Amino acid sequence: MHENDISYLESIASKLRMLVVETAHTAGAGHTGGSLSEVEILTALYFSFLNVDPSRPDWEDRDRFILSKGHASLGYYAALALKGYFPIDDLKTFDREDSTLQAHPDMHKCKGVDYSTGSLGQGLSIGAGIALGGLIKNKKFRTIVLLGDGECQEGQVWEAAMFSGSKHIPRLIAIIDYNKVQLSNKVDENLSLEPFAFKWEAFGWNVLSVNGHNITDLLSVLSRASAISAQGPVVIIANTIKGKGVSFMEGKFEWHGKAPNDNEYIAAMKELNSSK
Amino acid sequence: MQLGEEIAQRLAFGQALVELGAEKPNMLVLDADVGPSTQTHLFGRAYPDRFIEIGIAEQNMVGIAAGLSTMGFIPWISTFAVFMTKRAGDQIRNSIAHPRANVKINGAYGGLPSGRGGATHSAIEDVAVMRALPNMIIMDPADPQEAMVCARLAMEIEGPVYLRTVRCSVPVIFPEQHKVEIGKAITLHEGKDVAIISSGMMTPRALKAVELLEKQGISARLLHMPTIKPIDIDAICDAAESIGAIVTVENHSVIGGLGGAVCEVAAEYAPCRIKRLGFPDIFLESGDDEVLFSRYGLDVAGIESAAKLLAEGGKKNK
């Protein structure tokens, strides 16, 4: 990939980060921390990797994307808007009454959402079902599921992992936004996932890991994952920082489900603007 | 099948899936290791490529079906009602009911008859749980024939359907050309002294009770509710207004099922005296199905005596 392309993608990521903070501030609601940690992942997916067309959100052969960590909708909506699924202005309606942009993504309300999510632990099963359907129909599209790390404490994630690994479901790629912090505490202090990679391996998955904020590395790991996913499911453990980009939010569980107030908003935007 | 013949309802359901599978190439069946019990193994034998064994992982089964439904398939998911509706309750709510996924749910071993499984295996609250979910249609067929009709009808509906079936044998009361309409009661007997509203496998025994009542000069209207949701509001109101006394009969807890639904409608539109026959607010025990049914008045004699009591009260009220 071209040097210029990376800087273009980095500028997209920077824009998404600002949209996350702006949208949360306008709504006075939203999950800011986990939306900031997924920004580069969503950038690499929607602006390079995924074979999707915003003018045909129901196109049969498109790659599918499921945001299993449905609460991180701020980042998701920002990416969909910037990609052209709906006007960026719609972000101002986030979480309001009658908005297409519900707190948690609704496939019947928001264009580009491949499946409704919100209750944690359910997205990987849905993704596995879609990938299995694609296999039966001899389709070649890929299904990507983005999970939170805290979410991997849910038993259903491991039911889905066991199923997909044991049935060697192809073209299914799980990405873990491993930001190490969940709603109430550090993941390690609540219920550790480690040895995380070994667990996925033991369930029959190919495991890759990456710095989830480095777009060059993300693109190369996605391309590798895509290639080896022909044989069976692949998980990418993306090491990230919760609240990434806003120093006073970084690594803080307090920013899991909180929106910035006016002063915090000004400070956050100042920092994001200066690091553009 | 012959009228009066005793056939396991689960077997009729399993055979219905095989028939429907021949007509609908996009139909899939998923089971969680209980195919030989729910009888979905018949479909698995007939169409091995369209039967997906999930293993004992009900939550994952729901999600896999939800995903498959986006690919133009119509998946049936099948396991014991007690586990389906609670173990995978959140998944049914959020991955199926809210997104209106075109997934058909078989709650097998509905109610008491669980092969002497006792408290843990008797689904006495599955209808209550499912009834609270928006977008969910609930079918509780009376006999083997109606189970087949309901399975076919479920395939014609775009969206989630919960079809409850029972393990045990039930006498055939409906002919082959039997039809079910969503939200419409079926009047099996006309009467003026008391109305009996029943669903599921309680309907054939309610029909026997009605015949016995008639011999004693008590005229009972029998309404069978093949769909508990949506429920036939007009039929309930008409019974409440013109008769004034209703007995509900269900193979389910008296909380939140058919009896609850009838009471909600009557209380709001046409209050009248109602007796709910069903399991009281307790967990069941293991034992013989019929011994336990009769303990809670869910046998022919129990229905007969409850209806008699209300018929007398109903006459007095007039």
Nearest CA in chain B to A138: B71
Q: Are A131 and A138 contacting, i.e. CB atoms less than 8 angstroms apart?
A: no
- Ramachandran angles phi, psi of B177, nearest 5°: -85, 15
Domain count of chain A?
A: 1
Beta carbon pairs, A and B, within 8 Å: 97
Contact criterion met (CB < 8 Å) for B94 and A136: no
pLDDT digits (tens, 9 = 90+) for A186-196: 999 999 999 99
pLDDT values of chain B reduced to their tens digit, one per residue, 318 residues: 999 999 999 999 999 999 999 999 999 999 999 999 999 999 999 999 999 999 999 999 999 999 999 999 999 999 999 999 999 999 999 999 999 999 999 999 999 999 889 999 999 999 999 999 999 999 999 999 999 999 999 999 999 999 999 999 999 999 999 999 999 999 999 999 999 999 999 999 999 999 999 999 999 999 999 999 999 999 999 999 999 999 999 999 999 999 999 999 999 999 999 999 999 999 999 999 999 999 999 999 999 999 999 998 755 444
| Contact between chains at B60 and A159 (C-beta distance less than 8 A) | yes
Q: Spell out the residues 6+ positions from residue A37 whose beta carbon is closer than 8 angstroms to its own.
A: A72, A177, A179, A212, A240, A241, A242, A243, A244
The mean per-residue pLDDT over the stretch A168-177 comes to 98
Structure tokens at B62: 């729901």
Q: Which domain holds residue A117?
A: 3-274
Q: Which CATH class is domain B186-317?
A: alpha beta
ipTM for the complex shown: 0.97
The pLDDT tens digits for A22-75 are 999 999 999 999 999 999 999 999 999 999 999 999 999 999 999 999 999 999
Catalytic: which of B19, B58, B211, B241? B58
**B26 burial level (CB within 10 Å; 0-12, 13-18, 19+):** middle
For the B6-171 domain, the top CATH level (class) is: alpha beta
Which CATH number covers residue A94?
3.40.50.970
To the query of whether residue B53 is one of the catalytic residues in this protein, the response is no
Which of B65, B67, B90 lies nearest to residue A127, judging by beta carbons?
A: B67
The one-letter amino acid at B146 = E
Chain B interface mutation, best of A125, A153, A168, highest count of B Cβ atoms under 10 Å? A125
Instruction: Please name the residue of chain B whose CA is at the shortest distance from the CA of residue A114.
Output: B70
- Residues of chain B contacting residue A115, judged by C-beta atoms under 8 Å apart: 66-67, 70, 95, 99
Query: Closest approach of chain B CAs to the CA of A165, in angstroms?
Result: 12
Which pTM does this prediction carry? 0.97
Query: Which amino acid, A170?
Result: P
Closest CA to B54 of A160, A66, A206: A160
Locate the domains of chain B by residue range: 6-171, 186-317
